[in-house]
Amino acid sequence: MDQVEENLKSLSGDLDEIYSKTLTRMQRSLRPNQWQVLRKLLLWIAWAQRPLSISEMEHALAVRPSLNDITKGSILPIRKITTWSAGLLFIDSDDLIRYIHPTTSRYFLQQRETTFPNGDGIIAHACLDYLNMTSFRETVSGPNKHSLFWLRLKNYPFLEYSVLQSSQHISRSTSKDDDYRALTFLCSDSRNFFLQALYYLDEEWSVERNATAMHVAAYMGLTHVISELVMAGEAVDARDAFGATPLMYAAAKGDDGVKDVNCLLAAGADPALSCQMGSTALIRAVNVRSAAVVARLIQEPDISINAVPSDPNGTSEPAIVAAFYADDRDIFDVLLTREDIDVNLRSTRGYSTLQLATLEGSIWATRAILSHKDIDIDLEDPDDAWTPLFSAVSAGFTEGVELLLGHGANLHHLDKNSGTVLMRAADYDREDLVGLLLKRGLDSHVPDFLGRTVLHSAAVNMAWDSLKLILESVPDIDVNVQGKGGETPLHDVCRQDDSTGVMILVAAGARCDIRDEEGRTPMDIATNNRRTLSLEILKTAKGYENVTGSRPTKSLTEAINTDPANVLQRRIKKTSVEELNFAKAFSGTPLCQACWRDRSDVAEMLLKAGADPNLTNAFNRAPLFLAIEAGSLSCLQVLISHKADINQTPYLPLWEYAMARRQKDMALILLEHGADISNGSGYLQLALHFAVRKKSIVATKRLLEAGASMQLKTGGYTAEQLAESVDAEFLAQLTLDDE
């Protein structure tokens, strides 16, 4: 191996000598003016941030100080000049100028400081001179500005490189003159088009106008330019179109922005300020996982550490939550050292950081938060009244459960539906946690708001391991316990495809002759649902002799699951309105079941026969909610046509719930029909982009009124750019309606 490395070093040295001699031969064989031009080309290729095309290089080498425009006469024959390189350069299929071999590239990269000194400065000058041309003093405007910009980009091929890469060359250049040139440029009228070009070309830049020279300098990482602007009296806390300050821009650069952050703070920048979306410099630094910037900001007395953003993109969280999501322990621990930190702060979804840590099964975060003196260990979430203990149990986070109990978590807390943590462990078949909680003395007989016990929880969720453990561990457990609807655990399992639960319960003494509130036995349910294996097992159950020969009736809800439309149509015509609107705890009304089963034809029949479109099941889930959950666009349309309440929901607003389930067409229909929109929604921008793509004037205008922005980028482009590319008339109509 040592010999191989020695040979490679020797070969490398030989190649360096070969390339050096090749350059010498080229210089001798070419006329002085030819060599001078080729040398410029070689310099650009050695120092450029990426390979340049023929057309880009033509404009790059043609630019001069104070040039008004590029003329045909000033363009050099780059393709021909490339042939003077003695084979060192070639033009690929994409018209990009490249080195002939990786060793060639390595040589010029290593030798560029001596062979082509001040390359960054030369390219920086060219970029700034190009951007300062008269052609770029005015922005493009009008309803077709998107097309006009791309036409300008086509006519000026070096524009994209100048806009996106100039900052790299300026910041690396050792000449103070380059900082002065950049300062002069940013303070000139040329900045306006530069902002517009950034808006179209840079995925991370969102403002087309109304950003100061200080903002741009911070974004480009030009520390010396920032210092000059400060000395010139530029406002360090200037706001861009979205209310962001230069300090926020610098913080968002992460570790690359440390010098700029220091410079701005030293100049008096206020780190406690927030933008229009509630984000701060601290939140931006945490989002890019910059421990260095966070450590610097933490030293300031007020950094709005508990700011809760309302980002219409749904991508921002309070600093402590963002640090957890970033899985950055160093930043997380540093934030917890602040006296003003609210450790119980909720995420934009309403969960505390402790709850998120337990849901995700994060032992390090759970330990860190529990060690804080102000932690509220039993803080409930706003939707289900779950505490962190419930979250840990649902996630199967055994170590977290033990930690929480060791710190005094309330073992007997009841959730919104009066459910116990033991029930939630059974829901997810967390057998080890069911055992742990039973050993802790948790009462297995406690009923929830439907009168159902932990046995029902295990039965309905097919949690067979937990079901067996409970039956074995609790000697006085009543296997035939009934809920408020008269249902036993055996009723629940007889609906399942899997007959395992029937076998377990029958072996434990479950009776098959107990009737629910509709007069049905487990035998009836198994018969109606065609559970052949379960029926065979039930023949060995207690009470079987009492149900043999009985003819079970099929409820309308069960019929919707199995019967064809023509059969259902005849039955629905004969059904009373009272029966049509009878709601069961889980399945709700027959209409709920039709929507859950994606049977829009049946839903239409039920509604015409008098079904109430807004009646819910015991968990406040109305037919509209269930249609979204089932992904049934046709049911949603039928319900809306029958005046269903589009704002009736147990959790998120229905249109947001549709977005969360990636049912964008449903969300759009709800918005077009007037669904309530919160300006704090994290789905505003996603919905806006979809509305624009679908050319929905109504939904687009409503989302804009609620706080969405045509100028805020999502996925690298704005809704305005999307509208321009999809349909200029659509954008014009939006503008016209606003006037």
Q: Domains of the chain: which residue ranges?
A: 2-117, 203-342, 351-406, 417-553, 556-738
Fold of 351-406: 1.25.40
Tell me which residue of 479, 485, 473, 519 sits closest to 501, measured CA to CA: 479
Which residue type occupies 127? C
Q: Is the pLDDT of residue 35 over 80?
A: yes
At residue 10 the predicted structure's pLDDT band, cuts being 50, 70 and 90, is: very low
Residue 430 backbone zone (phi > 0: left; psi -120 to 50: alpha; other: beta): beta
Handedness of CA 217, 223, 225, 231 (dihedral sign): positive
Contacts 24+ apart (CB under 8 A), 512-516: 512/538, 512/541, 512/542, 512/543, 512/544, 512/547, 513/542, 513/543, 513/544, 513/546, 513/547, 514/480, 514/482, 514/486, 514/488, 514/490, 514/543, 515/486, 516/482, 516/485, 516/486, 516/487, 516/491
Cα–Cα–Cα angle for 258, 262, 265, rounded to 5 degrees: 135
The torsion angles phi and psi of 97, rounded to 5 degrees, stand at: -90, 125
Q: What DSSP element (H or E) covers 169?
A: helix 159-172
- The pLDDT of 589-617, averaged and rounded, is 97
- Per-residue burial over 629-653, b if 16 or more Cβ lie within 10 Å, else e, is ebebbebbbbbbebebebebbeebb
More confident site: 530 or 512: 512
Give the pLDDT of residue 3: 34
Length of the chain measured in residues: 739
Q: What DSSP element (H or E) covers 91?
A: strand 89-91
- The pLDDT of 618-639, averaged and rounded, is 97
Give the integer Cα–Cα distance in Å for 530 and 663: 33
| Tens-place pLDDT, residues 660-690 | 999 999 999 999 999 999 877 889 999 999 9
Structure token digits, residue 65? 């100080």
Give the pLDDT of residue 9: 44
Contacts 24+ apart (CB under 8 A), 155-159: 156/59, 156/70, 156/130, 157/53, 157/55, 157/56, 157/58, 157/59, 158/56, 158/59, 158/60, 158/63, 158/130, 159/130, 159/131, 159/197
Instruction: Judge whether 734 and 726 are in contact, CB under 8 Å.
Output: no
At residue 403 the predicted structure's pLDDT band, cuts being 50, 70 and 90, is: very high
| Tens-place pLDDT, residues 288-339 | 999 999 999 999 999 999 999 887 777 778 999 999 999 999 999 999 999 9
Kindly list the distances between the CA atom of residue 471 and the CA atoms of 55, 88, 247, 369, in Å, as whole numbers in the listed order: 79, 80, 62, 37
Fold of 203-342: 1.25.40
Tell me which residue of 426, 407, 423 sits closest to 415, measured CA to CA: 423
Exposed/middle/buried for residue 711 (C-beta within 10 Å: 0-12, 13-18, 19+): middle
Annotate 447-485 with three-state secondary structure.
CCCCCCCHHHHHHHCCCHHHHHHHHHHCCCCCCCCCCCC
At residue 558 the predicted structure's pLDDT band, cuts being 50, 70 and 90, is: confident
% residues pLDDT > 70 (the chain): 97
Does domain 556-738 fall under CATH 1.25.40.20? My reply is: yes
- Residues with Cβ within 8 Å of residue 505, at least 6 apart in sequence: 459, 467, 479, 489, 490, 493
- The pLDDT of 695-706, averaged and rounded, is 94
Mean pLDDT, the chain, as a whole number? Answer: 92
Percent of the chain that is helix, strand, coil (3-state, to 5):
55, 5, 40
- The pLDDT of 397-402, averaged and rounded, is 98
Look up the CATH architecture of domain 417-553: Alpha Horseshoe (1.25)
| Tens-place pLDDT, residues 495-525 | 998 999 999 999 999 999 999 988 999 999 9
User: What are the E-state strand segments in 95-227?
Assistant: 97-99
Instruction: Judge whether 417 and 619 are in contact, CB under 8 Å.
Output: yes
Which residue type occupies 524? D
Q: Is the pLDDT of residue 12 over 60?
A: no
Give the integer Cα–Cα distance in Å for 695 and 674: 17
Give the integer Cα–Cα distance in Å for 528 and 485: 18
Which residue type occupies 479? V
Instruction: Judge whether 453 and 466 are in contact, CB under 8 Å.
Output: no
Instruction: Judge whether 149 and 140 are in contact, CB under 8 Å.
Output: yes
The torsion angles phi and psi of 354, rounded to 5 degrees, stand at: -65, -40
Q: Where are the alpha helices (DSSP H) in 241-382?
A: 246-252, 258-266, 281-287, 291-298, 319-325, 329-336, 353-359, 363-370
More confident site: 13 or 361: 361
| Tens-place pLDDT, residues 447-482 | 999 999 999 999 999 999 999 999 999 999 999 999
Instruction: Judge whether 355 and 381 are in contact, CB under 8 Å.
Output: yes
Which residue type occupies 273? L
% residues pLDDT > 90 (the chain): 77
Could you check whether 351-406 and 417-553 share the same CATH topology? yes
Tokens 């009296």 belong to 233
User: What are the E-state strand segments in 108-264?
Assistant: none
Instruction: Judge whether 437 and 457 are in contact, CB under 8 Å.
Output: no
Cα–Cα–Cα angle for 273, 275, 278, rounded to 5 degrees: 90
Most confident of 72-76, 91-95, 100-104, 374-378: 374-378
Which residue type occupies 44? W
Q: What DSSP element (H or E) covers 567?
A: helix 565-574
Q: Is the pLDDT of residue 2 over 60?
A: no
Tell me which residue of 314, 312, 317, 315 sits closest to 684, measured CA to CA: 312
